[in-house]
Amino acid sequence: QSVLTQPPSVSAAPGQKVTISCSGSTSNIGNNYFSWYQQLPGTAPKLLIYDNDKRFSGVPDRFSGSKSGTSATLGITGLQSGDEADYYCETWDSSLSAVVFGGGTKLTVL
Amino acid sequence: QVQLRESGPGLVKPSETLSLSCSVSDFSISRGYYWGWIRQPPGKGLEWIGGIYHTGDTRYNSSLKSRVTMSVETSRNQFSLKLTSVTAADTAVYYCVRWDYIVPSMREFFDCWGQGTLVTVS
């Protein structure tokens, strides 16, 4: 059971917008910075978003990060088939003194 | 552009020690950053193992702490992971990463990843 809770899967049609949620607590997302990673099939994860809402170098502005209370959200607009991947949220948990990841969300572009 | 590459045995026997190294190219480990390890069992999610600074300061996942040792060799620009008393549950793809970890702000993220290496315990 992950400390951070993500939906197992989301889907949307090409060109549409999708959001992926990551629910935590005051010991992690609520008071610490979080990040988002994209893992394309058969490859290593790549950093997409850091410091809650900053896009990493080379990441298109179709990707965005936001926070509300103890939840984080990854938004992807203008969906493309190449966006099909697993997405993970990540942050530091102050109670555990450890990095924690969400369980991952599989994005399917219909 | 920073490149990381894992190396080590792909097969380890139960109860033995898993040993992996990560070679860093185009960036000196001594310049800063923490350097870490993350693993991913087949078909499952990501698990943080820990990280090490070039000075030797370490941060370990408490669930693995009793079995984990990390070290850094600045002269060879590489760092290493040892995991003792392995079981089938330690079968995973192991990634080495560059960890931008700033204490005490708790601002951190993994900005560079190796390609990963599959280690099977059997």
Mean per-residue pLDDT, B37-55: 97
Mean per-residue pLDDT, B54-83: 96
Instruction: Report the SS3 class of residue A66.
Output: strand
Distances (CA, A) of A106 to A9, A21, A66: 5, 12, 19
Please enumerate in sequence order all residues whose Cβ is within 8 A of that of B66, keeping only pairs 6 or more positions apart, or say none: none
pLDDT in tens, A75-102: 999 999 999 999 999 999 999 999 999 9
Residue A1 pLDDT greater than 90, yes or no: no
A101 with B113: Cβ contact below 8 A:
no
B45 with A2: Cβ contact below 8 A:
yes
pLDDT in tens, B9-35: 999 999 999 999 999 999 999 998 999
What average pLDDT does chain A have?
Answer: 97
The DSSP code sequence of A2-62 is -SBB--SEEEE-TT--EEEEEE--TTTTTTS-EEEEEE-TTS--EEEEETTTEEPTT--TT
Per-residue confidence at B69, pLDDT binned at 50, 70, 90? very high
> Measured between beta carbons, which residues in chain B are less than 8 angstroms from residue A35?
108-110
Q: Are B80 and B71 in contact (CB under 8 A)?
A: yes
- What pLDDT does A33 receive? 95
Residue A9 pLDDT greater than 80, yes or no: yes
Mean per-residue pLDDT, A39-46: 97
A7 touches B: beta carbon within 8 Å: no
Q: How many CB atoms lie within 10 A of CB A47?
A: 23
Burial letters B48-66, b for 16+ CB under 10 A, else e:
bbbbbbbeeebbbbeebee
Per-residue confidence at B103, pLDDT binned at 50, 70, 90? confident
Nearest CA in chain B to A105: B45
Please give the Cα distance from A81 to A45 (Å, whole number). 17
Please give the Cα distance from A55 to A58 (Å, whole number). 8
Mean per-residue pLDDT, A9-25: 97
> Measured between beta carbons, which residues in chain A are less than 8 angstroms from residue B111?
47, 50, 56
| Nearest-CA distance B46 → chain A (Å) | 6
